[in-house]
Structure 1
Amino acid sequence: MSCDNCKSGFKWDGQATGKEITLNKANAYVTGDNKDAAILIVTDVFGWTLPNIRILADHYAKEANATVYVPDVFGGEVVDPDAMSNPEKQKKFDVMAFIGRNSKEIRWPEIKEHAQTLKSQYKKVAAIGFCYGGWACFKLAADPSLIDAISTAHPSLLEKSEIEGVKVPVQVLSPENDVMYTEELKKNTLEILPTKGVPWEYVYFPGLQHGFAARGDPKDQKQKDGLERAKRSAVNFFNEFLH
């Protein structure tokens, strides 16, 4: 399935305040200094170096009082952020080929390892996945020894069985228009989560598109309101289940 909204968006202004480290041999951005609570961000295709994700990580660290990790989950491959808004670069970026090189089978073991490492170092760990990272958070949610709670914004590559597997609190940040998080998957989510015996919430964003929470246009009032509401919703969720 082709997804133009998977590779479009806007680069945000702002200076990230964290630092770069190594996490299980992968490059990672880390911000915050809480010794008890951590948040793992599993990114969209623009990866760990995208300024937007680092700015969000800084917000989570400060407002949810946590140490936030953004590891590279694409084996060092970095997509030029200009591909979000430059039509020529966007055309050249084959997002489905990228996902083929970074399939679930290839990337799940290292994402799982990152969660295991954080779980061994912190009392509570939550995860949030944007687009590509969404399926991974649902897979983490099947194992309470890996994660304490998950949030996801406009998940991609998600399967019904992964929704059925959840055993920890779940938050879904869902735009109205999303070719990857389809109407059928939304219906599955709303039918399955109430049967799982875990706290869950579904936050709906009318008029917004796939990718809005991590790559929305802050100069467009509707998108700005949406991405800020998504950030506040995630922070509230983290505060509830990490502390």
Structure 2
Amino acid sequence: MSCPACFLGAIHTGTPTGITTTLHNLPTYISLPPSPSVSKSTIILLTDAFGFNLPNSLLLADHYAVATGFRVLVPSWIPGGGVPLSTLSLMETMTTPVTPFYSILSHLKRLWAFVRVLTIVLPFAIRIRPAPKSILEFARAVKADLKEEGEGGRLGVAGICVGGMYATRLCVESAVEGGEEKLVDAQFCAHPAGLKLPGDVLEAVKRVPYSFAIGDRDFLKVERVEELQAALRREVGSEEEASYEVRVYRGVGHGFAVRASKEKKEEEEPAEEAARQAVEWFKRYL
């Protein structure tokens, strides 16, 4: 489900401007647009493995709220909470080649980091498999709220890394158990981890306007992405004919949309473009 790149990247500076409260039984970060919106639509953002421990996702939610004019909800969906920020430095140590190769101390540091990462990542993987029921329950409750408000509010879902897998799978769910009305009205995911391709995406695209962002250096190889694009064209038509898009960003790997280094132009520019991709998609369909 996860790879080393799921736990690598930069911590962004800044102070999230929203509030955290309990909503539908989950701690939830709520980001509102700076001025009243004419739309009652809402976006649910499912974070990467770090959850609330990493400010990046909350800052991204603030950006979505400002740029779209919609309310953005970030539920703390990971049972037991996200992985600690120390995982970033541990994974960096574990994946950095030893130079010089004969440095015994460096090899011992890598071994220690490897053991520590296992004690963090394995319990995390167990906690999120199978998919926490709270994700579907939360989304259905938010959808019900929008219907009660009765002002045409629609529900968008965005997912980052492992959150992208669950955002994709929400696309095939109904607004109420056993019902026919779809739960999600538009979806965006960036470098999802754990998807079954092309099946998961095909099923999502057949029901929901679906936007997908991936780097050409992702652990999901370009060849697999091309196979996905071919399957989509074969099953549902071209991007011009159907409501989906698959964008490949050059020169970046897994995690770029949320953990890119702002000090590296080659990472920051694709991250900003992926954020624009999400904003434009949601504004189009919500």
Gaps (5+ residues) in structure 1?
A: none
Q: Deviations over 1:91-131 (max 9, x none)?
A: 4233244112211x241x21111211111122201111111
Q: Using the alignment, how far apart are the partners of 1:189 and 1:175 within structure 2? A: 14
Q: CA deviation at 1:81?
A: 1.8
SS at match of 2:51: coil
Q: Using the alignment, how far apart are the partners of 1:145 and 1:48 within structure 2? A: 28
> Of residues 262, 274, 282 in structure 2, which corresponds to 1:230?
274
* TM-score of the superposed pair, with normalisation by structure 1: 0.90
Q: Using the alignment, how far apart are the partners of 1:37 and 1:171 within structure 2? A: 18
Residue correspondences, number? 239
| Residue identity matched to 1:175 | G
> Residue 69 of structure 1 corresponds to which residue in structure 2?
73
> Residue 184 of structure 2 corresponds to which residue in structure 1?
147
Change (3 A) 1:177 1:96: farther
Contact 2:80 2:127 in 1 (8 A): no
Q: Which has the higher strand share?
A: 1
Contact 2:157 2:188 in 1 (8 A): yes
| Residue identity matched to 1:129 | G
Q: Using the alignment, how far apart are the partners of 1:55 and 1:79 within structure 2? A: 18
> Of residues 54, 61, 73 in structure 1, which corresponds to 2:58?
54
Change (3 A) 1:90 1:5: farther
The answer on 1:175 being equivalent to 2:215 is yes
The answer on 1:208 being equivalent to 2:234 is no
Q: Deviations over 1:185-210 (max 9, x none)?
A: 41343123333364011111111010
> Residue 196 of structure 1 corresponds to which residue in structure 2?
236
Contact 2:191 2:255 in 1 (8 A): yes
> Residue 200 of structure 2 corresponds to which residue in structure 1?
162
Contact 1:163 1:192 in 2 (8 A): no
**What percent identity do the matched residue pairs reach?**
29
Q: Using the alignment, how far apart are the partners of 1:121 and 1:188 within structure 2? A: 39
Counting only pairs closer than 5 Å after superposition, residues 123-134 of structure 1 correspond to structure 2 as 123-134=153-164
The answer on 1:85 being equivalent to 2:89 is yes
Contact 2:53 2:84 in 1 (8 A): no
SS at match of 2:251: strand
Contact 1:10 1:85 in 2 (8 A): no
Q: Using the alignment, how far apart are the partners of 1:139 and 1:78 within structure 2? A: 20
Q: Using the alignment, how far apart are the partners of 2:64 and 2:230 within structure 1? A: 29
Q: Which one has a bigger Cα radius of gyration?
A: 2
| Residue identity matched to 1:164 | L
Q: Deviations over 1:62-102 (max 9, x none)?
A: 10111101111112323222322353796423324411221
Moved more, 140-149 or 77-86: 77-86
Q: Using the alignment, how far apart are the partners of 1:230 and 1:203 within structure 2? A: 9
Structure 1 vs Structure 2 CA RMSD? 2.1
Contact 2:216 2:251 in 1 (8 A): yes
> Residue 29 of structure 2 corresponds to which residue in structure 1?
29
Q: Using the alignment, how far apart are the partners of 1:8 and 1:98 within structure 2? A: 15
Contact 2:32 2:72 in 1 (8 A): yes
* TM-score of the superposed pair, with normalisation by structure 2: 0.77
Q: Using the alignment, how far apart are the partners of 1:218 and 1:148 within structure 2? A: 32
Change (3 A) 1:134 1:5: same
Contact 1:42 1:128 in 2 (8 A): yes
> Residue 149 of structure 2 corresponds to which residue in structure 1?
none
| Residue identity matched to 1:219 | E
Change (3 A) 1:98 1:185: farther
SS at match of 2:192: coil
Change (3 A) 1:124 1:2: closer
Change (3 A) 1:112 1:196: farther
Gaps (5+ residues) in structure 2?
A: 94-108, 147-152, 174-180
Q: Using the alignment, how far apart are the partners of 1:4 and 1:63 within structure 2? A: 31
